[in-house]
Amino acid sequence: MEEIIITIPRNPNKPTTIEVNGVKGEGCKDLTRPLEQALGAVKDDKPTEEMYERPLKQRDQQRESV
């Protein structure tokens, strides 16, 4: 499952966070960019392990070229 979780705290001192699960590679950033632009400036960006994994299609293409 691909999932984006936007957590909006009631406390004004806590930041809104966007978490992406199940999207491999830099695709997660492309997916959330319009949302980040609409919500305001990004203060912190913590990539998950999944961001460093290559999407399956990309891996297959690499395998074919070997």
Partner 1 sequence: MKDACEARGLEFVKKATYKWYGHHVGDYPMPKGFTKADLGKCEYAIRVPGKKDAYEIGVVKRRDGEEGYTFLYDFYSGGKGLVGKLFGDDPLGKSEFQKWNTTYPQRGDTPIRPLMQEYEAQVAEKFARQRVGEGFEFKREYEDNGDLRVRVFRETSGGGGGEHGGTL
**Which residues lie near partner 1 (CB under 8 A)?**
1-12, 16, 21-22, 24, 34-35, 38-41, 50, 53, 55-57, 59
Q: For the CB of residue 6, give the shortest distance to partner 1 in the complex, in Å.
A: 4
**DSSP state, residue 50:** G
Q: For the CB of residue 11, give the shortest distance to partner 1 in the complex, in Å.
A: 7
**DSSP state, residue 48:** -
Q: For the CB of residue 30, give the shortest distance to partner 1 in the complex, in Å.
A: 12
Classified as helix, coil or strand, 24 is coil
Give the number of other Cβ atoms within 10 Å of residue 29's Cβ.
14
